[in-house]
Amino acid sequence: MAYSIVILILTLQCMSAVTGLSLGNMYPYPHDGITGPDDQLMSRTLDGSSPVISFTFPFYDNVYNTIYVNNNGHLSFTGSYSVYIPLEFPISIPLVSLFWMDADTRTTGQVWYKLTNDSALLNRAKTDIVTLYDNQITFQPTKLFTATWLDVPYWQAVGSDATKRNTFQVVLVTDGVISFAMFHYQKIEWAGYADNATKAIVGFNAGDGVNSYTVNSSDYTDVINLEQKSNTGVPGKFIFRVDGYTIQPAGSTGKYTKYTG
């Protein structure tokens, strides 16, 4: 009975969701322009990237010691990556792609990032993961990296599309051996170029030309509605374990499934 009630509540939450994560459900970022000690603002750019950031992160059976935030909605490890037209996976470079499409922050929108060992944030991440992964009860993260695209438009948006904005966030968290990625979608108003012929790619790419994981399917509506989708039971929130040979999602899209593998 209790189980049925939980399912009912989760179903109702999904059905009633017309927007993504609230501000409070996102990990902290300078939405109001007030920065904390670790907050970094990326320079305004069309297809540029952050400077190299030293961060040890296990990903797809490798351990990388550097990371780059790229304006077009992805993180790379082996160098900055400026490709603005999303490519279907697998491709030849390791990539964390939470919304690969042609963002343009030259005049408006911001991309914030931070690397932190703030204990409150680490504990929050631990709770997120322990709640969803039965086999991670003892997981104790030591480093956390976030990147947040705040009210970003897309390149050459015209007409009614010119005012469309997306706000989304990636959280990487690790103890140096085990690692997780969280994708947070607060607001997705655009998902591709105006003709919808090209749409955002969301997922993970190992870079070996073989292994990859794509969250959205080929349907454009899957991408434009990302803030209503989930693998955690919370609309707009996805969690994946990403250190191993295969990506381990917290659950299936739209359903809450505790991972026990």
Is 84 a binder of Ca ion (CB under 5 A)?
yes
Q: Report, in Å, the least distance between residue 229 CB and Ca ion.
A: 24
Torsion of CA 235, 251, 200, 116, to 10 degrees: 80
Residue 112 contacts residue 38 (beta carbons within 8 Å)? no
- Of the chain, the end-to-end C-alpha distance in Å amounts to 26
Our CB check for Ca ion shows the closer of 102 and 175 to be 102
d(CA 29, CA 31): 6
Query: Which residue among 102, 128, 175, 227 contacts Ca ion (CB under 5 A)?
Result: 102
Alpha helices, DSSP H only, in 116-225? Answer: 119-132, 220-224
Which residue type is seen at 207? Answer: G
Our CB check for Ca ion shows the closer of 157 and 173 to be 157
Is 47 a binder of Ca ion (CB under 5 A)?
yes
d(CA 112, CA 39): 7
Residue 154 contacts residue 133 (beta carbons within 8 Å)? no
Is 128 a binder of Ca ion (CB under 5 A)?
no
Stretch that binds Ca ion, among 17-25, 32-40, 84-92, 178-186 (CB under 5 A): 84-92
Tokens 């990625």 belong to: 181
Stretch that binds Ca ion, among 13-21, 50-58, 78-86, 125-133 (CB under 5 A): 78-86
- How many residues line the site for Ca ion (CB under 5 A)? 6
Is 82 a binder of Ca ion (CB under 5 A)?
no
How many other CB atoms are there within 10 angstroms of residue 66's CB atom?
Answer: 14
Q: Report, in Å, the least distance between residue 47 CB and Ca ion.
A: 4
Our CB check for Ca ion shows the closer of 26 and 103 to be 103
Residues at the site binding Ca ion, with contacts judged by CB under 5 A: 46-47, 72, 84, 102-103
